[in-house]
Structure formats: structure tokens, C-alpha cells
Amino acid sequence: MEKLENLDKIVNLCKGRGFIFQGSEIYGGMGNTWDYGPIGIELKNNVKRAWWKKFVQEADNSFGVDAAILMNSRVWDASGHTASFSDPKMDCKNCKTRHRADNLIEDYNKKHGVENMAVDAMSNEEMQAYITEHQIKCPNCGKCDWTEIKNFNLMFSTKRGVTDSNQDVIYLRPETAQGEFVNFLNVQRTTRAKVPFGIAQIGKAFRNEITPGNFIFRTIEFEQMEHQFFCHEKDGEKYYNEYKQKAWDFATSVGLKPEHLRFKDHDKLAFYAKAACDLQYLFPMGWNELNGIHNRTNHDLSRHQEFSGKSMLYLDPITNERYVPNDIEYSIGCDRLILALLCEAYDEELLENGETRIVMHFAPHIAPYKVAVLPLQKNLSEKAREVFKKLQTKFMATYDEAGSIGKRYRRQDEIGTPYCVTIDFDSLEKDTVTVRDRDTMKQDIVKIDELVDYLQQKLGL
Ligand code: GAP
């Protein structure tokens, strides 16, 4: 199939097949929020499970946490989010819509073939001058009549307190990372981990972003899968490169093709950072960040030491050296990864009979359902239910007896179910079923007694 030009087909499939719906849909929606449906939540859980397996279970010295979303406001002072977690925004004076200046420039450059411009390294003054010089227009009304660029903080704030007069401002966390940093001492003490070791977390983050509407690419509420790896300063470069490799290996292991992935170094490093890059994916709207890898030195732990007054010094039991460990951060948006996986899996195949089938080629461990049980006719449903019950204890399985067998295969193809098990009259007489492979559409006859082993082997689970 040709590469997807835009996200329309993915959005429609997601809505039609129960992957992802518009948030609060019956009330006309709520901008930039999305709800995962029965198929989408299986996909998401599988992605999170695969990530945890790679970054915690199979890692040598890595531990998970699940920190609170609401944290002491001093955390955000220490992390720098209160002072400077902002986007450069400008308003169109004509139609009153608000836009990100860097996005306006990037979109303009994409359209006009301007490559390799370090937009993330531009100051507000430089962006303003570029927009004026090139007369970059408002994507909503087409006029070029902008306010000055202003920085808007991206954190959602709320209030905590039992009386109206005594309420503290608190924030919904804009990243999960701080939950890992503030638990550095707790994790080290309770696991008796020696540096180097890692702390992982999967959880919700919130950012009051203006987004150009690329489905779940950039939303105001999203899930992050983050991992901090604490090490000695001298090993920073080695582990930074190791985590780049891990990021690549994980992305390809869940099904992203290497030709759709590339690394991009950051043009501008934060003052404390030694190195930073993004792993980018070729989305239908172009190359974009999938995840980040960052050598953050000992900045984060040092800042928490300063703001909390708690020592973050680690005593090396062999060398007796005392130091604040450095951190290599790996961070990926679960929802953004899901968007990449949906784009990668989507295929339209022309069949011999002239029809086109839509098929999602998910890797088996990521696929929402592993197997579907389909009785050829309704009067075979008793036997089919028996087989289904047996499979359900081993795999995420689904059952469908509505419509022609062809239609049922199409439905399973569209949600990416790797195997369909058809119950026919031989199932009653010979205790066999027909197993159809999603990708090749080839069929095998398998004994019911051997079905679980057959599927386990085929799925590689
Ligand atoms: N702790 C580091 C951090 O949060 P980031 O580059 O701001 O770094 C990390 O975010 C990852 O989280 C991104 O690479 C992206 O995959 C995802 N992400 C960030 N903002 C997002 C948003 N508004 N919607 C969906 N995913 C987002």
C-alpha cells in the first residue's frame, strides 16, 4: 500500500472498530481528549506490558514506581516547570485563534521545502522576525496579523484546601519523571540497589497545549513511559548510547520498521545537559519525535537536594566515593507510540476477487485479540463456545457468529487479530478446526486438542 498521506483513515478505523473515540463525544467532544475503546485498551495494555518487560523485567537493575499525580508544588519549583515550562504562543488579531510560533514556522518550512532549520534553538525575537519576514499566515483565517509572542505555562493548576479562603495552588503533573526523582532515596534504600540502577514509571501527564489536531499525537492528557537511569558521571556517555540502542530495539520489537525510524540530535541543549536526542518516526504528517533520550547530568537530583534539603549523595561501597548520581532519561509517550503502531500496521490489500481488505498487521504480542472463534453456522455454536472457553483461559480471545464468514474475517483483519479459528462440521465429527492466518490468509486444519499449543507456537507467546 502507498504511504498514508494523512491520519483520516486511521481516525475513522479507530472510531468504527472501537480503538479510540473522541472524548466526551455525546456532548460534542472535548478538544484534544480521546477515550480508548474495547479494542484500543487491549492494544494499549499490551504496549505498556511490552515496555515494562523490556525496561523493568528484563533490565539488570531496574525498579518500578507508581507515584501520585498531584505532587508538592515545591517539586515543580525544583524541576524548573513553574518558572519556565512554557510554549511561545501568539494570537491572530483577526480571528482570535491562538497558535504556537514554533509550529507555525515548522509548518511553513515543511510547505516551502526549508530543511535543517533549528527552530527549537530560536529565541522569541528570532521567531517573530522570521514570521514577519516570510509573512507567515494564520492557518485558520489566512491573515498575517499577529500579536507579540508570549510564553504560556503549560501546567494545569487546581486548588487544594478545605476552606475557600485557605487554598493552595497545586498542579497536575506535566511529566511522570519527577515521581521517579523524588523517590530516588526510597527506591535505593528499599531495594538496596547499587548505582547504576534505574527507576521506571508509566502514568498520566497533563499539559495545557495548543495542538494542530493530529489525533492522539499531541494531547492535553496522555500517558508517559519514563525511565531514569542513575549512574556515575564518567559512565554517562556509555549509558546514553546504551539507552539510544534500547529505544531503537524497543521500537522495532513492537513493530515499527527501521526505515521509518531515525535519531535526531537536539539543536539546543539545556544548560545542564550533556547530550539529548529524539528517536523520530515517519508519521503521515512527516518525521516527528517519538521519544527522547537525555543525559541530564546530576541536575535533577541536585535541584531536589537543594529544594528539599535532603541529601542525594550516594556512597559507593567499593570506592567510598560520595557523589550525586547522573541521570540518563528515556521518555516515550504511550499514546504517541500507539499512533505510530496504528500507522505502521495499517494496510489496504487488493484481493483476487477485486475487493480490498483493510488489515492491521500488528505484531502478535501487541495485537488486541490473539484469536477469534467463528462458528461457520449458528447451529455449531455449542461446539464453538466450548473451543472459545478453552482458548479464553490462555489468550485474549473474541467470539463472533454474526454475518457471513467473509465479513467476520474482514472485521478481525481490521482489528488485527492474528488468527481466526473456524468451527465447521468436521469439528463435530473429527474434532478439528480450521485456523486462518491474518497476514497470509492461508488455512491449516488443526486438532482441537492441539489448538492451544499450535497457537502458542505461532504467536510466539
Ligand atoms: N520527562 C521528559 C519529558 O517529559 P518530553 O519530550 O516533554 O520530555 C517525552 O516528553 C515524550 O512524551 C515525548 O517524546 C512524547 O512521546 C510524549 N509527549 C510529550 N508531550 C505530549 C503530548 N502533549 N501528547 C502526547 N504525547 C506527548
Q: What is the CATH number of the domain that holds 387?
A: 3.40.50.800
**pLDDT > 70? residue 146:** yes
281 and 311 belong to one structural domain: yes
User: What is the Å distance from ligand 1's center to 366 Cα?
Assistant: 22
User: What is the Å distance from ligand 1's center to 214 Cα?
Assistant: 14
Q: Ligand 1 within 6 A of 175 CB?
A: yes
**pLDDT > 90? residue 441:** yes
Q: Ligand 1 within 6 A of 327 CB?
A: no
User: Last residue of some domain: 308, 328, 343?
Assistant: 343
pLDDT tens for residues 175-185?
Answer: 999 999 999 99
User: What is the Å distance from ligand 1's center to 150 Cα?
Assistant: 22
Contacts of 388 (CB under 8 A, 6+ apart): 373, 397, 399
Q: Let me know how long the chain is.
A: 461
Residue nearest to atom 21 of ligand 1 (CA): 218
Q: Ligand 1 within 6 A of 202 CB?
A: no
Q: Give the model's confidence band at 3: pLDDT under 50 very low, under 70 low, under 90 confident, else very high.
A: confident
Q: What is the mean pLDDT of residues 4-27?
A: 96
Q: What is the mean pLDDT of residues 165-193?
A: 94
283 and 387 belong to one structural domain: no
**CATH number assigned to the domain comprising residue 56:** 3.30.930.10
User: What is the Å distance from ligand 1's center to 75 Cα?
Assistant: 19
Residue from 79, 289, 334, 341 to probe ligand 1 pocket by mutation (most atoms less than 8 Å from CB): 289
User: What is the Å distance from ligand 1's center to 414 Cα?
Assistant: 29
Q: Ligand 1 within 6 A of 438 CB?
A: no
Residue from 175, 256, 279 to probe ligand 1 pocket by mutation (most atoms less than 8 Å from CB): 175
203 and 249 belong to one structural domain: yes
Kindly state whether residue 363 falls inside one of the protein's structural domains.
no
118 and 265 belong to one structural domain: no
User: Last residue of some domain: 138, 153, 168?
Assistant: 153
Kindly state whether residue 361 falls inside one of the protein's structural domains.
no
Q: What is the mean pLDDT of the chain?
A: 95
Higher per-residue confidence, 117 vs 11: 11
301 and 168 belong to one structural domain: yes
Residue 65: all three cell numbers together: 514506581
pTM (2 d.p.): 0.94
Residue nearest to atom 4 of ligand 1 (CA): 175
Domain total in the chain: 3
**pLDDT > 70? residue 144:** yes
Range of the domain at 398: 369-459
Q: What is the mean pLDDT of residues 420-439?
A: 96
185 and 231 belong to one structural domain: yes
pLDDT value for 57? 98
User: Last residue of some domain: 100, 126, 153?
Assistant: 153
Q: Ligand 1 within 6 A of 331 CB?
A: yes
Q: Give the model's confidence band at 403: pLDDT under 50 very low, under 70 low, under 90 confident, else very high.
A: very high
**pLDDT > 90? residue 116:** no
Residue nearest to atom 20 of ligand 1 (CA): 218
Kindly state whether residue 166 falls inside one of the protein's structural domains.
yes
**pLDDT > 80? residue 198:** yes
Atom of ligand 1 nearest to the CA of 218: 24
pLDDT value for 4? 84
Q: What is the mean pLDDT of residues 342-359?
A: 95
User: What is the Å distance from ligand 1's center to 86 Cα?
Assistant: 13
Q: Ligand 1 within 6 A of 222 CB?
A: yes
User: What is the Å distance from ligand 1's center to 426 Cα?
Assistant: 53
Q: What is the mean pLDDT of residues 397-403?
A: 96
321 and 386 belong to one structural domain: no
pLDDT tens for residues 357-388?
Answer: 999 999 999 999 999 999 999 899 999 999 99
Residue from 156, 330, 331 to probe ligand 1 pocket by mutation (most atoms less than 8 Å from CB): 331
**pLDDT > 70? residue 212:** no
Kindly state whether residue 80 falls inside one of the protein's structural domains.
no
- Give yes or no for a cis peptide into 196 (omega within 30° of 0): yes
| Alpha-carbon gap, residue 313 to 322, rounded angstroms | 6
pLDDT value for 461? 82
User: What is the Å distance from ligand 1's center to 207 Cα?
Assistant: 9
| Alpha-carbon gap, residue 259 to 277, rounded angstroms | 18
**pLDDT > 80? residue 96:** yes
Kindly state whether residue 358 falls inside one of the protein's structural domains.
no
Atom of ligand 1 nearest to the CA of 175: 4
Kindly state whether residue 39 falls inside one of the protein's structural domains.
yes
Q: Ligand 1 within 6 A of 177 CB?
A: yes
Kindly state whether residue 29 falls inside one of the protein's structural domains.
yes
Q: Give the model's confidence band at 5: pLDDT under 50 very low, under 70 low, under 90 confident, else very high.
A: confident
239 and 312 belong to one structural domain: yes
Q: Ligand 1 within 6 A of 87 CB?
A: no
User: What is the Å distance from ligand 1's center to 420 Cα?
Assistant: 37
User: What is the Å distance from ligand 1's center to 32 Cα?
Assistant: 15
329 and 434 belong to one structural domain: no
Residue from 100, 210, 216, 222 to probe ligand 1 pocket by mutation (most atoms less than 8 Å from CB): 222
Residue from 100, 330, 336, 338 to probe ligand 1 pocket by mutation (most atoms less than 8 Å from CB): 336
Kindly state whether residue 357 falls inside one of the protein's structural domains.
no
User: What is the Å distance from ligand 1's center to 208 Cα?
Assistant: 13
User: What is the Å distance from ligand 1's center to 135 Cα?
Assistant: 30
pLDDT tens for residues 255-277?
Answer: 999 999 999 999 889 999 999 99
Q: Ligand 1 within 6 A of 79 CB?
A: no
290 and 411 belong to one structural domain: no
pLDDT tens for residues 47-79?
Answer: 999 999 999 999 999 999 999 999 999 999 999
274 and 298 belong to one structural domain: yes
135 and 226 belong to one structural domain: no
